[in-house]
Structure 1
């Protein structure tokens, strides 16, 4: 009996680890719950229940013994869809019977501890190029491409840098948008840039919480009201931080 209880807790650990990685990496709530349920079912659990929010996961397993329930907190969230894909791949291998419980746990641990994000320089370069491209997409002038390129790259750099100094998302996003606004204004002032509004719009686009908004709407449509509203509120707060930084710059012009 004791061995059976231990085995059940091991299954719960694997399910919770998979859910934790996915939720921290930007996966939708329904995907996290579905993956955890599939893993539990593949290891012989007849009935399991999960309650997932952006800040925590509650997972329980029904058995002959009293219901076993575990809770984990989610303190950090980012966007790493590569990790979501890897966990989905492990889940499919478990469902097809190609992976044991112990092997699944070790592979999930490797995914959790791995650093799969691009280097900081690559992220900044990508943000700079996309800022210039967004400028053109919003019918800006090619003459302003360089201004948006520099402002967008500087904005993402400041976001990463200040988030390391003060791990408060609102603060780092506010400072990043403030720097973008100041640089855009300076470029127009010295004659390097021409259309201030287009430069600012293109430069702040890498900061816009697109994935959060998409997941919020998807969760609301799927009936996950708590998660949908929470993610929507987080996206709204990010938008407010970006808007506040730009508004302060424009108000002193």
Structure 2
């Protein structure tokens, strides 16, 4: 392989690693650190600029510079861990650059999420558990279970139909509050506020808020502010959905 083709492969490999991590919800500084470590393992002097919506990577003045767009972002910590594993193996010379690129392409194509029915079920279970953490009545657990499961189902359906994240979260929180309200009015629930709070917990952007703070602390102000804004809009969408039901009530 010529040096030009090797540099081209390295550029594609580093960008793919960064793309997977950003699309899976990794912190900006972690993405940059992973890409630069992989570059140093190939004796390349790389420079990168990472934002939540795109990555710019250059291998030097005499080499190509590439830009890749990040169009969608989810939370998939397992994919981030898999990319870190590839990075470590490449740095330790356990695998070659070609093998690293093939592994990254496999990671990108693979869906590591649990089956949808299990995601909905675990969302319902977590909502019921959150009710106890918030010192709610044990008798309200079935209502919180149903509200959390229905809300997450509504989130998945609206994401599939509209592809608009904030509207999906708004609709999901509306469904959670509506189910909680119906449960209380029909006598199957007692504390409306705690049922609603427990039901929307699976929708809360906890990792997004954490990453925003960590990016700000690491000096990535643009990424930190962008993620913080996204978290605020998500929280606003959740609050608006609940507020409509409470206002009608």
Coarse TM-score class (shorter-chain normalised): over 0.9
How far off its partner does 1:183 sit? 0.7
Q: Does 1:20 align with 2:19?
A: yes
2:2 counterpart SS class: helix
In the other structure, the counterpart of 1:216 is 212
Per-residue deviation, residues 73-94 of structure 1 (Å, max 9, x unmatched): 0111111111111110110000
In the other structure, the counterpart of 1:6 is 5
How far off its partner does 1:5 sit? 2.1
* Distance in structure 2 (CA, Å) of the matches to 1:204 and 1:164: 19
How far off its partner does 1:67 sit? 4.1
Q: Aligned residue pairs: how many?
A: 249
1:80 aligned residue (76, 80, 87)? 76
1:59 counterpart SS class: strand
* Distance in structure 2 (CA, Å) of the matches to 1:98 and 1:144: 53
1:61 aligned residue (59, 62, 66)? 59
In the other structure, the counterpart of 1:110 is 106
| Pairs within 5 Å for 1:86-101 | 86-101=82-97
* Distance in structure 2 (CA, Å) of the matches to 1:54 and 1:122: 29
How far off its partner does 1:68 sit? 2.2
Stretches (4+) displaced over 3 A: none
* Distance in structure 2 (CA, Å) of the matches to 1:137 and 1:97: 47
* Distance in structure 1 (CA, Å) of the matches to 2:233 and 2:66: 30
Q: Does 1:188 align with 2:191?
A: no
RMSD: 1.0
How far off its partner does 1:6 sit? 2.1
Consecutive unaligned residues of structure 2, counting only runs of 5 or more, are: none
Consecutive unaligned residues of structure 1, counting only runs of 5 or more, are: none
1:57 counterpart SS class: strand
In the other structure, the counterpart of 1:35 is 34
